[in-house]
Amino acid sequence: MKLHAMTVAVALLISGVADARDTEHKLPIKDAMAANKAMETLGSDVKFFFGPDAPKGAKVVGTWVSNKKANFVGKSDKDACEWAFLSAMLSLRDRAVAEGGNAVVNIESYYKKKQFTSATEYECHAGAVTGGVALRGTVVKL
């Protein structure tokens, strides 16, 4: 019983240490779109517009958040952030298709509901084991 209690205590201590790191990165969108075959994976059926510059005259369908995590073990923060970014972008693309839209506009980082709007950078948070990217975008029909 005592050994079990010690094992649980050590596990809790280790998990607390593993999740303690929360390094904020602002990384180039262009690098993430060039990594991991992102453009090929996303396809060309849905267009993406970062920051406040969106095409005029689009029919707004709705705004959604995509919050995706990635395994950071054995990867650089940049590489893992690019995987999380691609996952978030795929989620926005799938939402656009499901809602009948053909573009996602006004895409911004939205980690822990904190806005970071940029046409050139996205925000990623890296932990010791996992990290993530949260994006918010408006699905439209151009």
pLDDT digits (tens, 9 = 90+) for 35-87: 989 999 999 999 999 998 888 889 999 999 999 999 989 999 999 999 999 99
Residue 13 has pLDDT above 70, yes or no: no
Residue 139 has pLDDT above 70, yes or no: yes
The C-alpha atoms of residue 135 and residue 142 are separated, in whole angstroms, by 20
Burial class (CB in 10 A: 0-12, 13-18, 19+), 31: middle
* Alpha-carbon torsion, ordered 79, 83, 86, 91, to 10 deg: -160
Domains and CATH numbers, the chain: 22-141 (3.30.110.70)
Q: Where are the alpha helices (DSSP H) in 19-70?
A: 29-34, 38-42
**Tens-digit pLDDT profile for residues 107-137:** 999 999 999 999 999 999 999 899 999 999 9
